[in-house]
């Protein structure tokens, strides 16, 4: 058998390599030019997927934190004026803090009688978390005086975010703590407030409203007291607390709405407010457990509220 020389092997290798290059190149061109529809379809799917998912987040946001807001038909009356008179709110500090024109009407809740509902929305949520915080802190309450903050932490009551963090009052927060009868409360009212507050959590902390160690907890306490004093039942109070929490922690409750819709087949408008506000879902730990299950909803934000919000 005749042996193939080195030169011949080299030539054969060059020829094979050339054939491979031509075949690969032809397949590449064929993929680009002969099958463009498949590539365009894939690209179209990639570019339309994100907006489609984003619309889900937007749809949930419209349910959880609607632009029109959420109204609680309580009679605010002279509550704001009493808070100013008791030193719970320093009107000058408030006017400086809320100097934008959008707050002009809201500031009248502190200077005149307001015999109408409170409406929280995306624009005024910051005003109401502070104003209800002042109410929860100043109003004489057995939750504050007889609860964990007023007993176990009595000597350190000024060290919490909800006390030491309040700087918009005319007096020191420790002096304001459960100091004034802003809202008339009977013993039955006090007992009802204490019971309901045990079942309402917020996602910035791991404690219930009965341990209002942050601003949101103290604000919800004020809301509960206001509603209980005017004869509202538990269901209405839980619904209102969920709405206020939602505007303060919008992304958290949009995530929870997604969870209930996808995991429990329950629309947000049908969820049990008391269940959502429980430690299982609304505490910091409970929400994080749910978050691990659902991940990040594509098209949604990832930032949440904090005790300083």
Q: In this predicted model, what pLDDT tens digit does every residue of 235-260 receive, in sequence order?
A: 999 999 999 999 999 999 999 999 99
pLDDT(231) > 80: yes
In this model, does residue 38 exceed pLDDT 80?
Answer: no
CA distance 236 to 241: 9
What is the domain count for the chain?
2
Q: How far is the C-alpha of 132 from the C-alpha of 162, rounded, in Å?
A: 11
Q: What is the pLDDT, as a whole number, of residue 115? A: 80
Residue 98: count other Cβ atoms within 10 Å of its Cβ.
20
pLDDT classification of 44: cutoffs 50, 70, 90: very low
Write the pLDDT tens digit of every residue in 50-105.
Answer: 455 457 889 999 999 999 999 999 999 999 999 999 999 999 999 999 999 999 99
Are 164 and 229 in a shared domain?
Answer: yes
Mean pLDDT of 124-136: 98
Q: Are residues 103 and 33 in the same domain?
A: no
Residue 56 lies in a domain: no
Parent domain of 271: 64-294
Token output for 26: 């032809």
Question: Which of 297, 298, 296, 255 minimizes the C-alpha distance to 50?
Answer: 298
The answer to whether residues 230 and 193 belong to one domain is yes
Which residues, other chains included, contact 40 with Cβ-Cβ below 8 Å and sequence gap of 6+?
none
Tell me if 25 is assigned to some domain: yes
Contacts 24+ apart (CB under 8 A), 150-154: 150/177, 150/178
Lowest mean pLDDT among 7-11, 189-193, 254-258, 275-279: 7-11
Same domain, 266 and 214: yes
Per-residue pLDDT at 175 exceeds 60: yes
Region 179-204: mean pLDDT is 97
Judged against a pLDDT cut of 60, whether residue 13 lies above it is answered with no
- Same domain membership, residue 83 and residue 128: yes
Least confident of 11-15, 37-41, 74-78, 193-197: 37-41
Contacts of 65 (CB under 8 A, 6+ apart): 122, 246, 247, 250, 253, 254
Domain match, 21 and 73 both: no
pLDDT of residue 146: 97
Residues 178 and 289 in one domain: yes
What's the token pair of residue 183? 């809202």
- Per-residue model confidence (pLDDT) at position 254: 96
Q: For the CA atoms of 160, 179, 184, 307, what is the dihedral angle to 10 degrees? A: -20
Q: Identify the band that residue 39 occupies on the pLDDT scale cut at 50, 70 and 90.
A: very low
47 and 68 fall within a common domain? no
Average pLDDT for 188-207: 97
Q: With bands split at pLDDT 50, 70 and 90, how would you rate the model's confidence at 297?
A: confident
pLDDT at 4: 52
pLDDT greater than 50 at residue 169: yes
* Predicted confidence (pLDDT) at residue 33 exceeds the cutoff of 50: no
Distance CA 114, CA 81 (A): 10
Q: Do both 73 and 188 map to the same domain?
A: yes
Q: Does 97 share its domain with 15?
A: no
pLDDT score recorded for residue 152: 96
Does residue 24 sit in the same domain as residue 127?
Answer: no
Q: Confirm whether 1 is domain-assigned.
A: no
pLDDT for the residue numbered 55: 75
Q: How many CB atoms lie within 10 A of CB 191?
A: 13
**pLDDT exceeds cutoff 50 at 20:** no
- Asked whether residue 309 is assigned to any structural domain, the reply reads no
305 part of a folded domain: no
In this predicted structure, what is the pLDDT of residue 5?
55
Q: Which conformational region is residue 160 in: left (phi greater than 0), alpha (psi within -120 to 50 degrees), or beta?
A: beta
The answer as to whether 307 is a domain residue is no
Does the model's pTM come out above 0.85? no
Whether 277 and 232 map to the same domain: the answer is yes
pLDDT of residue 32: 34
- Report the alpha-carbon distance of residue 253 to residue 60 in Å, rounded: 9
304 within some domain? no
Establish if 187 belongs to a structural domain: yes
User: What is the residue-averaged pLDDT of the chain?
Assistant: 85
């Amino acid at each position: 058998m005749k042996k193939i020389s080195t030169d011949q092997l080299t030539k054969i290798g060059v020829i094979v390599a050339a054939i491979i290059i031509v075949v690969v190149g032809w397949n590449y061109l064929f993929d680009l030019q002969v099958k463009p529809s498949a590539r365009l379809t894939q690209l179209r799917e990639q570019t339309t997927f994100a907006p489609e998912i984003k619309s889900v987040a937007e749809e949930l946001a419209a349910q959880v934190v609607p632009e029109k807001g959420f109204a609680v038909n309580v009679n605010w009356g002279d509550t704001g004026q009493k808070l100013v008179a008791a030193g719970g709110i320093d009107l000058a500090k408030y006017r400086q803090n809320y100097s934008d024109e959008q707050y002009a009407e809201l500031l009248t809740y502190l200077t005149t009688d307001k015999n109408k509902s409170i409406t929280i929305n995306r624009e005024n949520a910051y005003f109401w978390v502070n104003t209800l915080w002042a109410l929860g802190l100043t109003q004489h309450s057995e939750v504050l005086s007889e609860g964990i903050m007023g007993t176990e932490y009595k000597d350190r009551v000024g060290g919490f975010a909800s006390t030491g963090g309040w700087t918009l009052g005319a007096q020191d927060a420790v002096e304001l703590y459960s100091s004034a009868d802003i809202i008339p409360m009977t013993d039955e009212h006090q007992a009802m407030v204490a019971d309901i507050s045990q079942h309402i959590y917020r996602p910035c902390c791991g404690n219930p409203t009965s341990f209002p160690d942050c601003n949101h907890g103290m604000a919800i306490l004020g809301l509960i007291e206001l509603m209980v004093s005017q004869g509202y039942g538990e269901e209405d109070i839980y619904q209102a607390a969920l709405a206020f929490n939602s505007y303060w922690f919008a992304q958290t409750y949009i995530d929870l709405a997604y969870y209930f819709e996808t995991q429990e087949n329950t629309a947000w408008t049908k969820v049990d407010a008391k269940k959502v506000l429980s430690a299982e879902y609304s505490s910091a730990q409970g929400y994080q457990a749910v978050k691990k299950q659902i991940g990040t909803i594509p098209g949604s934000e990832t930032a949440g509220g904090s005790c300083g919000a």
